[in-house]
Every structure is written in C-alpha cells, then in structure tokens.
Amino acid sequence: MIKTLALAVGLTLAAVSPAAALVVYDETTKNLAVSGSTTNYQVTEVYRYMRNNDVLSVTLSGNGGEYYAGLRLGNMIKKEGSVVIVPVGRTCVSSCAFAALGSARVIVDGELWYHAPYLTLVPTNVTILEITQMFGRAYVDMASYLVSVGIPVSFGHDLLVQTTTNKFIVIDDGYQIERMRATEVPWGKALYEYRYVTVGE
C-alpha cells in the first residue's frame, strides 16, 4: 500500500522549474550528460546507456524531480563507479543532488542543493495514518541510501529540521562531501554550519 500511495501522491524533491529530462552520451570522453527533471524516464535512459557503454563520468544538472528516481540514479552511478561532475554555473537540485552522492568522487564546480522530500499533492481518499507511514518509509529509505554512499545519517536529520520546500542546504565544494564521509556526528546534532538558499521569497 505504501508503495502504491507514494506513486499516487507524487513524493517529490523540489522542481524549481519544469524542464525535460535530457541524457546525452559522448563516446570520445565516455561522459554521460544528464540534465533536466529527475524522472523514472530519465533513469531508464541512463540505465540504457550504462548497460551498453563504459561511462567514466556523469555530468549532472537539473531542477529536481521524483524522490525515488534520484535514489535509483545514485545507486546506478555507484554501481558503475562513475565520477560525478557538476559544471560551473550549473545547479543540481534535490533528487539530482541526492543522485550525485552515489559517486565516490564528486567534482562540484557548480552547486548542489538539498532539502527533504515533500508531497506535491495530497489525495482525498487516503488517511493521515497512510500518509504518515509513507513518509516514515521515505525517510528510512533516505537514511539507508545515505549510509550506503558513506554519508552520515545526521545529514538526513539536518535536511529534516533545517530545510523546507523552498529552503535548501547548498554544497559548492566537493571536498565538503569528502569531509562528510570522513565524519560521523550524533543524530540530532548539525553536521556543519551550512550555507542556505531560499527560492521564491
């Protein structure tokens, strides 16, 4: 029921503006450029390229999208062993930013924006309990993903208590991700003094 509900409700990591998903492979550099909204369609395209090609690096930029699509993309990047690059002047938001953490090496020349997942709409035919169960599952899955890519679960806590649908934690330095992976902080304590950006105010 929770899985079905998640699909019906549309659990989202923010989309700042609508954009089509675009996936382009360069045979010379073996780079896969992934941009636009993070969707199941985009992830399927990435899988197709990774299945048929050697992907040494993945260039990421995008405005966010589907929560579980971002986690799936991150797991695929981790399995492939690709370097992730966020180019100068580009932003990788929410589900895109979660996907970036799948790489053991993240080169951040642009910016990664993080916040907790949220609902884009609430159906009228489900109970508060069902919605609560869905969110519980979503946060457990987020914590499991963070641990699997070497990020302390305290970062997940920071997302829950310090971000909103339009307030983001910003990472603009790949070394910060390396430091996060080398540091464990007790649950409930902030991992860093973050930089924030707020959209729409």
Strand partners, 119: 11
Q: Which of 150, 152, 156, 162 is nearest to 195 (CA)?
A: 162
Query: What tens-digit pLDDT sequence spans the chain (201 residues)?
Result: 333 333 333 455 444 334 567 999 999 999 999 999 999 999 999 999 999 999 999 999 999 999 999 999 999 999 999 999 999 999 999 999 999 999 999 999 999 999 988 766 666 677 767 777 777 778 889 999 999 999 998 898 899 889 998 999 999 999 999 988 987 666 556 666 789 999 986
- Residue 148 phi, psi (nearest 5): -65, -25
What single DSSP character describes residue 177?
Answer: H
The pair of structure tokens assigned to 156 is 């997940």
How far apart CA 151 and CA 132 sit, in angstroms, is 25
What local confidence, expressed as pLDDT, does residue 126 receive?
74
Domains of the chain, earliest start first: 2-198 (3.90.226)
Q: What is the pLDDT of residue 10?
A: 43
Evaluate whether 148 touches 156 at the Cβ level (below 8 Å). Answer: no
Instruction: Find where tokens 């963070």 sit.
Output: 146
Q: How many residues does the chain have?
A: 201
